[in-house]
Structure 1
């Protein structure tokens, strides 16, 4: 577009069929299209907009269970910089910012379009679409809040000059937690989807897990009891339960098992995703990112498959597990003794939860290494139980009461004997072992005040800096600062 007219008519957005938006989004079917579009950015982080930002890797590289890896220290330099707590405006999670604000924009669109279609929607459907959009909007803001803290915040899409007030992290939390409370109070979200075709849509259980996660990360003691009450709703509903075998959760057959509260769906057989179209529908590149290079064949993965060597597991992480703990082999793919092209920081230990199998991209019509069908497990019932156990103890619950029961359900599922009581240390240790590679550990270290003690220089000379409180929020990208000079950079 090199020219414009003398009035503002060029600002009137029209769809490809030529109808203005306020005429197109007047039917139930078209509102459904907008709702589906609001979910789409959930699939983007692992690769798109110039970066790989797989959600678990982004968090795990700042913790203590993995190295960054890759071909060398310049490969995904932003990860290596953040790993060593020396990120800057040019080495940060810039595309994650764009992904999440894209999601927020689409959620705001849905809420706006509901007004266009008001007379053509049933009250039930209108509430259902609105609750999905509002819950998803909290999800996207929650991601931004965790990483960047002090962020532009708006609930109605901006108009020129497209700038929103930058709120302090505590103020962002205050806005989001009240929004979640209203969503949960309305009761328009089902605890669990009744139809498998709806798996992947938000539920009340999903909203509750976000609520507990945010309250615990904020250390908002005034809401601990409320969060525990909500978690008890999930537990007492009997809609979810632990999968009998921990390792089966991560198989294709384990997707959306009774333990799954929320997964981000990926499917290779319908893939349009390719090197020229990273945001198209399809599979995930995560298994390729976290696997060894030039694989010789075996373990269900063919010779010559292409892994990029990111996120090797530390030797010390492997040693955390008791020999009888069934989670060790399900969490860590131990290929010590196998010959392949070792990359930077390689330990021959890899994350088994999302490791590649030929069967998981066999039907992909485009580039196979970009399109594995591994769903991303975002919230599991095991986390519900451990959150509840922790909050019970933090609100005066007995070490031999409900907290012990909930903790032991997770602990004994791993093949270990019952614990006689549940302490906070026991629960946090269990969280560590249960969720390695799932992007939980770093946030636990920060919220419990352990980060400064644990995240210190290592004996290998890889991490040479220590985490400090100023590292809680990562730098905002230079491109965003250039676009809005009023944005205040995080002190990092």
Structure 2
């Protein structure tokens, strides 16, 4: 169990700093901030509040990346679940609650970060090392939230400081390049300021290594295809910059290869050497765990269990892991059983043959309710860093070799119990990443970044759509999501909707 709770829920004490969802309520009043920030302890609590906006990330990645991709067939029996239109590629998503959540919670995190950065001062935090750490953590998190936004929405409004309500109503969406400029600046500064490691009491805080790994991912994403839209790819050709950072993390970081795939996700092995950065969750009190295992599961399965899990564990129906994904696993691939619950028999004797994600599920854990699963969610793993290195090399980064690519992929395959490959291509690498990171929210971004998304989705849609609800082919505008309708109506003409919606 973690000694440090990153306390993604101790941010509840920061309720006086919380903003509402609407743009015209975005800023924090100067009086509230001035009264709160008095010493280093107050700033630490405030920084924990910035971490707090990571809480919805696991479910968001499941909803907007896994369900959008060829990993999950998410059409519900009624067709009215909020994820149905995400799965089905409809063009009427601007009122969808999942889209609004991605916008609102990321901007809440940015608001909290700006408030900390605006107030951080040597007079209040005189110890330079502590002050640098607070700034580094906050800049990393602001960059993370903006990177999340630019990948979902493309152009977004840019707030690099606390603004007044009047100012906010005059700030339009910035270009993707301008958003990236802030992300790059924040991550480079975070690398300078953050420590490489922490003591046990602070385990889980972001390190300089995590900042380097995220910066490498930004370089890869910026280098991706543009699709002719204002999306996350700007054809920047920064593969060599990414490779330099990835080599540094691999060669010099405090991470190491974990030989057992299952142990990476074990409740008894959190913060293991494969984890570069994750969302920290705990148990023992309702509200400090994650909902993800129950959210990915199905009530029928949890009703078959007995022991320490409070029931019911899920209030929503199962989203089926796609048959295409399950069939992509080779025989004896150890990752399949860890990742997917392929079938079960419910209490009425019905045999369910559709699969659901179980990667973060442990039936032996003591669970208070469906909001309290005590398992961290990985945002960056060493395995991901290594496979991003392989991608950078295959995309033309200088200083890499085909042998390095093959070695990386074969380390992953050997751990999964599979035979090695030679002359690995980008398509083979993407297939291996799909199986390795299934359920971790990377698939959609991988397809978009590498220019494969329309090709893959157009081939997958007609074969998997058993209920005949999805579009026959993917509109290229759907690489990104629409701006939430509530934001379009804050001030007429301030934002224009993304094309295709």
The answer to which of 194-203 and 32-41 deviates more is: 194-203
Matched residue SS, 1:322: coil
2:334 is equivalent to residue 326 of structure 1: yes
Provide the rounded CA distance (Å) in 2 between the counterparts of 1:300 and 1:209.
40
Q: 2:112, 2:246 → 1: CA distance?
A: 29
- The equivalent position to 2:471 in structure 1, one of 464, 475, 483, is 464
Counterpart selection for 1:140 from 133, 138, 145: 145
Q: Please give the alpha-carbon distance, in whole angstroms, between the structure 2 residues aligned to 1:370 and 1:445.
A: 31
SS of the residue corresponding to residue 270 of structure 1 reads coil
> Residues 332-481 of structure 1 correspond to what in structure 2 (within 5 A)?
332-336=340-344, 347-355=353-361, 357-361=363-367, 364=368, 368-394=369-395, 395-396=397-398, 399-456=401-458, 457-459=461-463, 460=466, 461-481=468-488
1:276 matched residue in structure 2: none
What is the aligned partner in structure 1 of residue 266 from structure 2?
251
CA drift of 1:386 comes to 0.3
- Checking the alignment, whether the CA contact within 8 Å between 1:294 and 1:340 is kept in structure 2 is no
Match of 1:279 in 2: none
Question: How much does 1:106 deviate?
Answer: 0.7
Residue from 169, 173, 179 that aligns with 2:176: 169
The alignment partner of 1:54 has SS state of helix
**Displacement of 1:55:** 2.3
State which drifts further: 173-182 or 128-137.
173-182
When structure 1 is superposed on structure 2, of 370-379 and 149-158 the one drifting more is 370-379
Deviations 1:29-66 (A, max 9, x none): 111121111111111456xxxxxx43233211110011
The 8 Å contact of residues 133 and 195 in structure 2, kept in 1 or not, is answered as: no
- Compute the displacement of 1:197 (Å): 2.5
Match of 1:217 among 208, 217, 221: 221
TM-score when normalising by structure 1:
0.84
1:462/1:205 Cα in 2 relative to 1: closer, same or farther (>3 Å)? farther
Q: How does 1:268-347 map to 2 (within 5 A)?
A: 268-271=283-286, 273=287, 282-295=288-301, 296-298=303-305, 305-307=312-314, 308-336=316-344, 347=353
Deviation (angstroms), 1:239: 1.0
2:201 corresponds to 1:194: no
For structure 1, list consecutive stretches of 5 or more residues without a partner in the other structure.
Answer: 1-10, 16-20, 47-52, 274-281
CA separation of 1:466 and 1:66: change in aligned 2, threshold 3 A: same
User: What is the CA distance between 1:300 and its match in structure 2?
Assistant: 7.3
Q: Partner residue of 1:483?
A: 490
Distance 1:299 1:430, change over 3 A: farther
SS in 1 for 2:379: strand
| 8 Å Cα contact 2:462/2:472 also seen in 1 | no
Whole-Å Cα distance in 2 between the matches of residues 341 and 173 of structure 1? 54
Q: Is the 8 A contact 2:275 2:381 kept in 1?
A: yes
**Residues paired across the two proteins, number:** 449
Q: 1:247 to 1:340 in 2, by over 3 A?
A: farther
Corresponding residue to 1:34 among 46, 52, 76:
46
2:209 maps to which residue?
Answer: 205
**How far apart are residue 74 of structure 1 and its match?**
0.5
Query: Structure 2 CA distance, aligned partners of 1:101 and 1:199?
Result: 26
Deviation of the 1:337 alpha carbon = 5.1
SS of 1:319's equivalent? helix
Equivalents in 2 of 1:205, 1:292: separation in Å?
Answer: 37
Q: 1:348 to 1:305 in 2, by over 3 A?
A: farther
Deviates more, 1:197-206 or 1:456-465: 456-465
Aligned-partner Cα distance in 1 for 2:481–2:446: 17
Alignment match, 2:226: none
